[in-house]
A and B are shown apart, each in its own frame.
Chain A
Amino acid sequence: MAPFIRIQNISKKYGKLLAVDNVSFDLEKGELFSLLGPSGCGKTTLLRILAGFELTTEGYVEIDGQDMVDVDPADRPVNIMFQNYALFPHMSVSNNIGYGLKRASLPDNEIKSRVSELLELVHLNGMGERKPSTLSGGQRQRVALARALARRPKLLLLDEPLAALDKKLRSETQFELCKIQEQLGTTFVVVTHDQEEAMTLSTRIGVMNNGKLVQVGTPNEIYEQPQTTFVADFVGEISFIEVTVKEQKEPYWLMQGAVPIHVSTGAKFRINQKVNLALRPEKISLTSKPTGKINEFPVEITDWAFYGAGTQYRVVGPGGINLKLYESHNLPSKSNARQPETGFINFSPDSIIILER
């Protein structure tokens, strides 16, 4: 069966600048897909291509078996929620939400019932007569969502949907957004530069850099098995160690950097191949005395930061390797405890990410 939405070899050039570079991916119906990347990576351009505001230089978009190339934005079964919400300031909340329904020339009473349905969906009952300027940021965001959902699009695009909200509201809204998405079964594509947002929202994430889609996968795959140094570095905290493959010592590979490191992996290497090892902070344990475990070496603690749920340390190991590590506070942390200046770290051979160099 053909996928619900197919994006095939899309490229977009502005003069000489290649804003989107040969991007292809498919979406299943009801997916919540995030496009994640630093600003200027082409994710917003890609979103505007899907909405129909930008023409592609190459490639095509197909939604539910229908080719979208020559379809005007007004006729696409796609709606977009803009980053600044773009609510019509001279219209009431109800008229904002009903704008697209009036265009679809539905009868008045049907528009009315549909608008009140949507107001209920986003918990804004009784706010229909208010002007957008009298609403809070979170309420405006929900009006924008209701307006974008009004025409029952097959694909809903959200441009940084939570960027304008404060942290506390953001996590609530995130949860709410997921609930609505599940309830309606609409396919969502979310553009964001916030990796945490992408992780918590999405069923799948596409990481973009310099116009290219560098990796597509579930949040777990993106975090635990990044395929490039860029993805590893962009998503979450990570430390890198440069090493050379020395020998295979079943069940490990021995790799030599400033210290010898045992790596457990199914992958094959050439002897003397140069690779990058990457370590997530929470995979490293810090102890005050040596434990005799594998991959253990002494470090000097250069910096630490208290995060409430845990403490992040920056340590320097033999040969000047810099590592970040994270220790969660399973027991109440003591405010007057002196932070140690030296210690030992160890990490399991199968928690190491291996990247090409």
Chain B
Amino acid sequence: MRRDVPLLIKALGIAGFGILYIPVMIMIIYSFNSSKLVAVWAGFSTKWYKELWTDDILLTALYKSLLIGVSSATISTVFGLLIAIAFVRFSVFKGRLILSLVASAPLVMPEAVTGLSMLLLFIAMEISFGWPSGRGVDTIMIAHATFGMCFAAVVIQTRLRDMDKYLEEAARDLGGRQPFVFLSITLPLILPSIIAAWLLSFTLSFDDLVIASFVSGPGSSTLPIVIFSKIRLGVSPEINAIATLMILTISILVLFGSILILKREDKK
């Protein structure tokens, strides 16, 4: 027997999702506005999307954001995987508690604090070793990889913990030695979580404004930084267009990630 959802809960649900998504919908609709005024509808047009392709500043920023996103997500995933293995496969080791605190603190640390501390670190390093010389794409990459790693570790840990640990023993019993057991058994089984972790780290990096503003230098503005600085001069429909594209990209990635995770859970 199916019970209907009470009316109040339905209404609250609709209101909640409405508050979340109505502004986004309006933004998407207005990205197709032919008028230059954001609040006045003057007919359908895709001219702002065309204009995007000619805006060099935005395109450069997009390229940098993608570059930083891909590389920091990759670094995050590799290190996140290592942290996850350490926690799940080795139950007792020296400094486990400290490592678990260190690995999860960035999840709850205010981004401004992370950004500022990163900035101070980079300046101190520059003074002591001469590297990094100034702030740029590399410093943003390192900063993003650092906090993305913690999220990746959480995602991979969950999956690794669910995995039957006797599978690895069985592989070893059948003559498999360590790197091979990991590659032939563990890795294929936790692959969905690794992809999900990569996608999560990528979106976190692609979205980030706060940390990036601290550790970026001249000529290394990411997309969110450029959008934010443009808005200060007044909102143009071009911004709506690029925001729409960002939403689209991220929705596709999140959808892809969720499908991967759900598919695996079905099989169990």
Contact = CB atoms under 8 A, between A and B. Distances in A.
What 9 A-B pairs are tightest by C-beta distance, nearest first? A100-B174, A103-B175, A86-B166, A86-B170, A90-B188, A74-B175, A82-B166, A73-B172, A99-B174
Contact of A82 (B169, B175, B180, B189): B169
B164 interface: yes
Interface in A45-80: 51-53, 72-75, 78-80
Given A100-B174, A133-B267, 17 more contacts: A53-B173, A73-B172, A73-B173, A74-B174, A74-B177, A80-B170, A82-B169, A84-B166, A86-B166, A88-B171, A89-B267, A99-B171, A99-B174, A104-B175, A147-B170, A147-B174, A150-B174
Contacts of B171: 88, 99
A40 B167 CA distance: 22
Contacts of B174: 74, 79, 99-100, 103, 147, 150-151
Interface string B151-191: 00000000000001011011111111100100011001100
Contacts of A133: 267
A74 B169 contact: no
A57 B222 CA distance: 59
Interface string A97-115: 0011001100000000000
A103 B166 contact: no
B173 A88 contact: no
B135 to A, nearest CB: 44
Q: How large is the interface on A (under 10, 10 to 19, 20 to 34, 35 or more residues)?
A: 20 to 34
A78 B174 CA distance: 9
Nearest to B188: A90
Nearest to B166: A86
6 contacts: A82-B166, A86-B169, A88-B167, A88-B170, A88-B185, A147-B174
Interface of B: 164, 166-167, 169-177, 180, 184-185, 188-189, 267
A84 B170 CA distance: 11
Contacts of A74: 172-177
Contacts of A99: 171, 174, 176, 184
B172 to A, nearest CB: 5
Nearest to A105: B175
Contacts of B175: 74-75, 100, 103-104, 151
A90 B189 contact: yes
A89 B170 CA distance: 12
A179 to B, nearest CB: 24
A4 B216 CA distance: 70
Of A52, A84, A86, A104, chain B has the most CB atoms within 10 Å of the CB of: A86
A5 B253 CA distance: 57
A103 B177 CA distance: 9
Contacts of B170: 80, 82, 86, 88, 147
A134 to B, nearest CB: 11
A53 B169 contact: yes
Interface string A116-157: 000000000000000001000000000000010011000000
Nearest to A52: B173
Contacts of A150: 174
B173 A79 contact: yes
Given A86-B166, A86-B167, A80 B267 contact: no
Nearest to A74: B175
A82 B189 CA distance: 19
A261 to B, nearest CB: 51
Contacts of A103: 174-176, 180
A56 to B, nearest CB: 17
B81 to A, nearest CB: 18
Contact of A80 (B167, B173, B184, B188): B173
A113 B185 CA distance: 24
A86 B175 CA distance: 15
Contacts of B180: 103
Nearest to B191: A90
Nearest to B177: A74
Contacts of A52: 173
A87 to B, nearest CB: 8
Contacts of A53: 169, 172-173
A90 B169 CA distance: 16
B225 to A, nearest CB: 42
B176 to A, nearest CB: 6
A106 to B, nearest CB: 11
Contacts of A82: 166, 169-170
* Max chain A C-beta neighbours (<10 A), residue from B164, B170, B174: B174
A186 to B, nearest CB: 15
Nearest to B181: A74
Give the most central of B166, B170, B171: most A CB within 10 Å.
B170
B189 A89 contact: yes
Contacts of A88: 167, 170-171, 185
A134 B215 CA distance: 52
A74 B167 CA distance: 14
A72 B176 CA distance: 10
In this complex, the member of B166, B173, B180, B185 whose beta carbon has the largest number of chain A beta carbons within 10 angstroms is B173
Contacts of B189: 89-90
Nearest to B169: A53
